[in-house]
Structure 1
Amino acid sequence: MSSFDRYVERRNTGCMKWDGLKRRFGRDDLIPLWVADMDFPSPPAVIDALVERAKHGVYGYAIKTDRYTESIVQWMKARHGIEISPDWIVPAPGVVPALSVIVQAFTEPGDGILIQPPVYHPFRRVIEGWGRRVIENPLVESGGRYEMDFDDLERKAKDAKVMFLCSPHNPVGRVWTKQELERVADICLRHGVLVVSDEIHADIVFAPHRHTPFASLGPECSRNSITCHAPSKTFNLAGLNTAYIWAENESLRTAYERASHRASMAELNVFGIEAMIAAYQHGAAWLDELLAYLKASLDEMERTFGQELPDIRMIRPEGTYMVWLDFRALGMSDEELDRFLREEARLGLNEGHIFGSQGSGFQRMNIACPRSLLRQALQQLGDAVSRRRVP
C-alpha cells in the first residue's frame, strides 16, 4: 500500500476544499475534487522542518536569506536544467498576487493582456480587476489535444503589452514543447510583448513529457520574461505563501519589486520559508513517488471512462493533477451540467465555463487524492449517468 493511499481527514481544519463546500456548492455532502491542493500530507522532511521551527517559539518578521534562494537555485538546476542567479529571485505571497503586482507594474488602464483560454480563471479576474483589457488567443482542440493558434497570436500580439502564459497549462494539462514555446517567444519579441510565464505546475509533469522553462529558451527570452513559480502545487504547501518570481532583467525585477512594496506584498511567511527549503532539499524522491501514483490513477481513470463512461471524454493531462473532462455528449447546458454533478453525482468539480466560454460543456477534476476516494467519485458519476439513461 502506497503512503498516498492513506486517507487524511481534512474536515474541520478550516480548509477551503472540504470545509468550503457549503459556501461554494450549496451543500457539504459532495466529494470535493475542485480547488487545486492535494489530500496528501506533505513530505516528512517538510513536516519535521515545520515542527522544528515551531519549537523555536518566536515567529517574527522574516527576510530572504541565502538558504532560501539557494534552495530555489539548486532545485531549478537539478529538476529543470536551468541555471538562475539568486539575485533574480523575489518572494511573493502567491502566484496570483504576483500577477496582480505585474499588471500594476507594467501596464496602464486600458492596456491589453493576452491569455489563452480555457485558462486558469484568476488570469481574467486580475486583468479586469485592474481595468486592463483581456485579449483572448483561444487554444484549439482537436481529437482531445489542445494546441496554440499561432496565426491568431500573431494578430493579437500587435495590441498587447503583456502575455500571461500558463505553462504547463491549467486546466487542459498541456506541457508545451520547446518548439511551441519558441514560436510564442518569437511572436512576443517581435511585437514587444512581455511574457509572464506561470510555471507553478512545472514539477507535476508525466514522462515522456518534459517541462521547458520559458527563460531557458535563450538570452533574449530570459531578458523579456518574468517567471512565476512556487513549491505549493508540488509539495502541497498552498497555505504557506511560498511563491516567488524570477527575472534576469534588472529593470523588470526592480519595477516588480517597487510595485510589490507599494502593494505591501513583499513579506515572507516564516513557516513557508522552512517548508520550501526542506521540500526542495529533501523532497525529490517523494515527488517521484507522487508522480508514479498519479500516473497509476490516470491509467485507471482512462480505463474506467473508456469502458464504463464512454459518453464522457477524458482528456489525459501531460502535466498537472487536474483532468479536463468533456461532458458535451450528454447534451446538457452548463447550468444543467453543474446541477447534475452537484445534485445527482454528488461531486464538487470546477465548472468548465469559469475558465472562459471555451470551457462550456467541460469540468475540471482534481485527482490528487487517495485512489479509494477517486474510485468512489467515479462510481458516483457512473451511477448518476446510468440513472439518466434509464427511461
Structure 2
Amino acid sequence: MSEQFDFETLVDRRMQGSLRDSMTDPRLLEKGLPSFMAAEMDFPTAPCILDALRKRIDCGIFGFALCDKPYQDAVIRWMKMMRNWEIERDWIVPALGTIFSLSIAIRAFTAPGARVLIQRPVYDRYDQAIIRNERVPLDNPLILREDGHYEMDFDDLESKMALPDVTLMVLCNPQNPTGTVWKRDDLERLAELAVKHNVVVFSDEIYAEFCFLDEPVVPFAAIDAAKEIAISCTGLGKAFNFTGVNHANNLIPGAALREAFTTQRNRDHYGSIDPIAYTSVLAAYNSDGEWNRAVNQLVLKNGDLIRAFFRQYLPSVKVAPQEGAFTIWIDWRGLGLSDEQLFQLLEDKALIQTNHGSEYGNEGRGFCRMNIATPTVEIEKALQRLLEAAREAGLTSGK
C-alpha cells in the first residue's frame, strides 16, 4: 500500500521557520541527518490536502470560515470511518489547537489555584498550560509493569479525584510518550470515577489515527457513562502532519459541558476556523484514509526494525509495546548509565537526537521518546551509528 506514496525522501525544511530545526543539533543539520525528537513526520502531508490547498490558493480568498454543514459532515464521516463512532453535528466545537483547547477547559472548569490531574510520564505542554493558567499540576503516575505495558493507578486516581479542588483531569489516548492505547475497560472505569467525583475529563486524542491494535482507539466521549463530563479533542495535527496549523475539533456530547466550553472559548477571542484548516479538514476527512493506513504501515515497519536491533545487540534495552502514535518509548535503564552518559552516547557518539524521557516527568528518567515517522533508510543508518557507538563503549552483544 505504501508504494503509492513517497515516504523515503527527506523534505528540506530550511528557510521555513521550522521550530523543529531550531531545536535540532547543528551537527545533524550540517550532515543532512534527521532529528528523531519532536513529533512531526519527515514527509509531506497527504496528497489530497496538497491538491485542495493548491485550488484554494488559486482561488485567492482567505476570509473567515465557518463550522458549516460541509465541515460538520466531513468530521462526522471521518469519526465513523476511522473510529467507528457516530457523532452529532452540534457536538463539534472547533478551536485553535489542542493546547489552546486544554487552556479553555482549564479556565472553564477549574478555579484559579486549583489542581488539575495529569498522568506522568506525559506530554510536558500539559504542565505548561496548567501553570500558565495559574493552576497546579497534580500527578497520578502511571504504573509500569514488568512486560513494559503501562496501566492506570485507579486507587491513587480516586483518592485525588476526591479532593475538593480537583474538577478537571487531562487524559492522553494514545498516551504520549508511552504509546499506550487505553482500552474500553480502562475508560469505563475512569468514567465511573469521574462521574462519581464530578470531574471533567479532557481527552487529548490527536494521535488516534495511529493505532496498531485490532480495534480503533475508543474516544472517551463515546463511553456512555462519560457523555456529560467528557471532551474528546481531535484534529489533523498528528494524523496528517499538520501541527503548525493551529486547529482542533472538540467533540462534546454533553449540552451543559459544551455550552460552558463554548462560552469560555468565545471569551478567549476565538473568531473563526482558519481557512487553511477548513479546506484541509474537508479534503482529509472526505478521503479514503489510504494515506493514513500507509503511514501506519511505515511506522510499524520502522518499529519492528528497532525492536529487532535491540533484541540482537542491546537486549537489556526495552522498547514499550507499540500500540499507538508514531513515536516509540525506549527504556535504557538496563545499560546502567546515568542520563548524562546515555545522551552522550546517543547524541555525541551516535548522532541520534531524541526527546529525553525526563521531559515527561521524573518517571521518564532513563528513557527516551523517538519519532519514527521518517524514511526507513534513516532508521537503518541511525541504528548502524548506534551499533558502532555501543561497540566502542563495550555495551553490545551479538555480531
Normalising by structure 2, we get a TM-score of: 0.92
State how 1:65-76 maps to structure 2 within 5 Å.
Answer: 65-76=68-79
1:331 shift after superposition: 2.2
Alpha carbons 2:8, 2:374 under 8 Å: kept: no
**For the residues of structure 2 that align with 1:334 and 1:259, how far apart are their CA atoms?**
42
> Aligned pairs, how many?
389
1:136 shift after superposition: 0.9
Of residues 202, 206, 214, the one that matches 1:208 is: 214
Match of 2:34 in 1: 31
Of residues 49, 58, 67, the one that matches 2:61 is: 58
Is residue 308 of structure 1 aligned with residue 313 of structure 2? yes
Match of 1:193 in 2: 199
State how 1:136-147 maps to structure 2 within 5 Å.
Answer: 136-142=139-145, 143-147=147-151
Describe the shift of the 1:28–1:338 C-alpha distance in structure 2 as closer, same or farther (beyond 3 A): farther
Of residues 4, 21, 25, the one that matches 2:24 is: 21
**For the residues of structure 2 that align with 1:254 and 1:62, how far apart are their CA atoms?**
21
State how 1:90-109 maps to structure 2 within 5 Å.
Answer: 90-109=93-112
1:371 shift after superposition: 0.3
Describe the shift of the 1:125–1:330 C-alpha distance in structure 2 as closer, same or farther (beyond 3 A): same
1:56 shift after superposition: 0.7
Matched to 1:152, the amino acid is D
1:38 shift after superposition: 0.7
Match of 1:172 in 2: 178
Match of 2:243 in 1: 238
State how 1:1-391 maps to structure 2 within 5 Å.
Answer: 2=3, 3-12=5-14, 13-22=16-25, 31-142=34-145, 143-159=147-163, 160-218=166-224, 220-389=225-394
1:266 shift after superposition: 4.1
Matched to 2:194, the amino acid is C
Secondary structure of the corresponding residue to residue 240 of structure 1 = coil
Which ranges of structure 1 fall in alignment gaps of 5 or more residues? none
1:256 shift after superposition: 1.6
Secondary structure of the corresponding residue to residue 231 of structure 1 = coil
Alpha carbons 1:237, 1:275 under 8 Å: kept: no
1:98 shift after superposition: 0.7
Alpha carbons 1:260, 1:266 under 8 Å: kept: no
Alpha carbons 2:314, 2:395 under 8 Å: kept: no
Alpha carbons 1:161, 1:192 under 8 Å: kept: yes
**For the residues of structure 2 that align with 1:10 and 1:386, how far apart are their CA atoms?**
32
Matched to 1:156, the amino acid is K
Alpha carbons 1:11, 1:19 under 8 Å: kept: no
Cα deviation per residue 1:128-171 (whole Å; 9 max; x = unaligned)? 22221211111111121111111111111112211101111111
**For the residues of structure 1 that align with 2:176 and 2:124, how far apart are their CA atoms?**
9
Secondary structure of the corresponding residue to residue 234 of structure 1 = coil
Runs of 4 or more, structure 1, over 4 Å off, are: 25-30
Which ranges of structure 2 fall in alignment gaps of 5 or more residues? none
Moved more, 185-194 or 61-70: 61-70
Alpha carbons 1:43, 1:283 under 8 Å: kept: no
1:385 shift after superposition: 1.7
**For the residues of structure 1 that align with 2:314 and 2:214, how far apart are their CA atoms?**
27
Describe the shift of the 1:28–1:127 C-alpha distance in structure 2 as closer, same or farther (beyond 3 A): farther
Secondary structure of the corresponding residue to residue 348 of structure 1 = coil
Matched to 1:83, the amino acid is E
Matched to 1:352, the amino acid is G
Normalising by structure 1, we get a TM-score of: 0.94
Q: CA RMSD in A?
A: 2.0
Q: Percent identity?
A: 34
Secondary structure of the corresponding residue to residue 244 of structure 2 = helix
Matched to 1:308, the amino acid is Y
**For the residues of structure 2 that align with 1:313 and 1:93, how far apart are their CA atoms?**
37
1:259 shift after superposition: 1.8
Cα deviation per residue 1:51-86 (whole Å; 9 max; x = unaligned)? 000001121222222111111111111221212111
Secondary structure of the corresponding residue to residue 304 of structure 1 = helix
**For the residues of structure 2 that align with 1:112 and 1:213, how far apart are their CA atoms?**
24
Describe the shift of the 1:251–1:171 C-alpha distance in structure 2 as closer, same or farther (beyond 3 A): same
